A and B are shown apart, each in its own frame.
Chain A
Amino acid sequence: MFQIRIHGRGGQGVVTAAEMLSIAAFLEGKDAQAFPSFGSERMGAPVVAFCRISEKEIRSREPILNPDAIIVQDKTVIEPARAFDGIVDNGFVLINSPVDVETDLKNARVKCIGATEIALEQVGRPIPNAVLLGSFAALTGIIKIDSVIKAINTKFSGKIAEKNVKAAQVAYEKTLGER
């Protein structure tokens, strides 16, 4: 079982990111479960979403306390949301930031990428989720970029889908290159 926790703010597509991740895994024949940190959060408030990926049936529904990977869509929530809590040893941390972010994380595989910038440039809107999923595929190898692309296409359609797919691919390539 591989568990991912995504942090961000309302309106940044945090929940959608988790859902797309689960779809991608599903498309690879895996069992996947995605759910938000339920609430009536409004635009801008810190939000968390979860995704579990597994080869066998996922039954447990507790929130993810010890994630294998953390995606931070907005670095300003790291402090208040205590975003890195419970990360497993050698876990992945993917942060949306054009510049490296200082963390006190020991043995964790931290990666920063200017997802918002890529999104603005590719999609024209500052929604970094698809970009980060592309990057996540490259960083972790847990899911294939093709699956991410298919997932984006099931969630979105037309121009938006196209652009997000492009953005995801760009991020994927970029991340691979920098590995």
Chain B
Amino acid sequence: MLYQLEGSQAVARAIALCRPEVVCAYPITPQTHIVEGVGELVRSGQLKNCQYLNVESEMAAISVAIGSEAAGVRSYTATSSQGLLYMMEAVYNASGLELPIVMTLGNRAIGSPLNIWNDHADAMSARDAGWLMLFAENNQEAADLHIQAFKIAETLRLPVMVCMDGFILTHAYEKVDLPDQNEVDEFLPPYKPAFSLDPKHPCAIGAMVSPGDFMEVRYMAHRRQLEACSVIEKIGTEFNAKFKRNMGGLLRTYQIENAETVVVAMGSVLGTIKDTVDELNHMSGDDKFGVLSLVSYRPFPDKVICEALKNAKRVIVVEKALALGRGGILAHEVELALKGLDIEIITVVAGLGGRVITKAMLAEVFKQPKGNLIFLGLNEDVIRREYKTVLDERGA
């Protein structure tokens, strides 16, 4: 059924449709509206049979989820930015314990300086934490990804992080099609844990593992990540078949059949990119530009990406994160995926800390990129001024 909803509300309702049994909430902008929404659905009785805990920190939020998941019930929490970093120790722990927790990450920059606006620095900090990470392009996908996330997580026994851009999606009102409960129930069966804290069958979860076995444990976790690609694809296809919406999966392509230049990105900026690309193609009258929307950042689908981009001459990666002193993060991973192919790869670092990204700005770099590491909309005057004073002080 169609609704005009704030993104956070859409996600809250999607979560409720998945019947989580434990939800823990700790406020941090811009994720807050989501847990508020779930809380309201619990209190109003629309989400039944669910424990909603107001905890004292993100560390507690994820830890409560670890506990409840280990006790065998579907568990959910959400966070953003510093919150993710604050819980990071337990983020690694959750995947190590193979607990299929689902967590929404309302993407936000990481300070200092303090900045509450959107970018992907928080998500990137967790890229090796052993979680699956899916990025939503719009609120429809944000809602749909959560429904898929529980199924993927529970199939693979891995936690899943659904990333949606802070404010840009979490606070945006859009049309969202939410399925009926019975449809979701058909798609997502009740959670049956492989192991849990059960007095009838006691076992220990979280043993210390010595050098003699640790490599094997880690290698198996690596294998599960690789296997995840096919599971995510399969469940995406299942979802599309049932709900008639092409959402999720590993990635989506747009106009790449004859494209010389393909723009790769994740999250909400893709909409603006697509409009930009349409306009460019329209103006030039041909279709030199295409877009690749990456949904699954973890696992990183090298093969599928390579297959999709092998005919391109140039790949422009627009990303909302920066590896300081290194450049792009997503771009480097794309580069690895395309290793050996003669494709120019350009990194466009854009929208850090919520910096506005306009079609005009994008069109400019897409048409003629200057260099292969571009900072979109960077105020050169400020840099020149500030950097000069630095050099002067050093007496350089």
Q: How far is the CA of A58 from the CA of B359 in the complex (A)?
A: 13
Task: Write out the residue numbers on chain A whose beta carbons fall within 8 Å of the beta carbon of B29.
Answer: 40
In the bound complex, residues from chain A placing their C-beta under 8 Å from that of B2 are 26
Among residues 250 to 303 in chain B, which have CB atoms less than 8 Å away from a CB atom of chain A?
268-272, 274-275
Question: Do A32 and B269 form a contact, CB below 8 Å, given A62-B357, A62-B358?
Answer: no
Question: Residue B274 contacts which of A19, A39, A59 (CB distance < 8 angstroms)?
Answer: A59
Contact (Cβ within 8 A) A33 B172: yes
Closest chain-A Cβ to B52's Cβ sits at a distance in Å of 23
Once the chains are docked, how many angstroms separate the CA of A59 from the CA of B274? 8
Residues from chain B with a CB closer than 8 A to the CB of A38 are 30, 117-118, 166-168, 171, 354
B-side contacts of A35, CB under 8 Å: 167-168, 171-173
A30: nearest chain-B partner, CB-CB: B175
A22 contacts B by Cβ under 8 Å: yes
Does A36 belong to the interface (CB within 8 Å)?
A: yes
Q: How far is the CA of A52 from the CA of B274 in the complex (A)?
A: 17
> Which residues does chain B contribute within 8 Å of A149, judged by CB atoms?
none
Is A23's CB under 8 angstroms from B268's CB? no
B58 within 8 A of A: no
**B4 and A62: CB pair below 8 A?**
no
A173 beta carbon closer than 8 Å to chain B: no
Provide the bound-state CA to CA distance between A159 and B235, in Å: 47
A117 at the A/B interface (Cβ < 8 Å)? no
Of the candidates A19, A33, A40, A61, the one having the most CB atoms from chain B within 10 angstroms of its own CB is A61
Chain B residues lying within 8 Å of A32, measured Cβ to Cβ, are 4, 173-175
Query: Is B173 touching A22 in the complex (CB atoms < 8 A)?
Result: yes
A33 to B, closest residue via Cβ: B174
Which B residues are CB-close (under 8 A) to A27? 4
Across the interface, do B175 and A36 meet the contact criterion of CB distance under 8 Å?
A: no
Question: Is residue B119 within 8 Å, beta carbon to beta carbon, of the partner chain?
Answer: no
B interface residues, how many (CB within 8 angstroms): 29
Q: A38-B30, A40-B116 are in contact. Are A61 and B271 (CB under 8 A)?
A: yes
* Chain A 56-72: CB-based contact to B (< 8 A → 1; otherwise 0): 00111111010000000
Among the listed B4, B272, B357, which residue makes an inter-chain contact with A59, where contact means beta carbons less than 8 Å apart? B272
Contacts A35-B167, A38-B117; A23 near B356 (Cβ below 8 A): no
| B6 at interface, CB cutoff 8 A | yes
Which residues between 179 and 194 of chain B lie within 8 Å of chain A, taking CB atoms? none
Instruction: Report the minimal beta-carbon distance from A158 to chain B, rounded to whole angstroms.
Output: 16
Q: Answer whether residue A31 sits at the interface, using C-beta atoms and an 8 A cutoff.
A: yes
Q: How far is the CA of A116 from the CA of B211 in the complex (A)?
A: 72
- Enumerate the 7 nearest inter-chain pairs by beta-carbon distance, A residue then B residue, closest first: A59-B271, A38-B167, A26-B4, A34-B173, A35-B172, A60-B275, A62-B358
25 contacts between A and B (CB under 8 A): A22-B4, A23-B4, A23-B173, A26-B2, A26-B4, A27-B4, A31-B175, A32-B4, A32-B174, A33-B173, A35-B172, A35-B173, A38-B166, A38-B167, A38-B354, A39-B117, A40-B29, A58-B174, A59-B138, A59-B270, A59-B274, A59-B275, A61-B172, A63-B356, A65-B358
- Beyond known contacts A31-B175, A40-B29: 19 more, CB 8 A cutoff: A18-B173, A19-B173, A22-B174, A23-B4, A27-B4, A33-B172, A34-B172, A38-B30, A38-B168, A39-B117, A58-B174, A59-B138, A59-B271, A60-B271, A60-B272, A60-B275, A61-B271, A62-B358, A65-B358
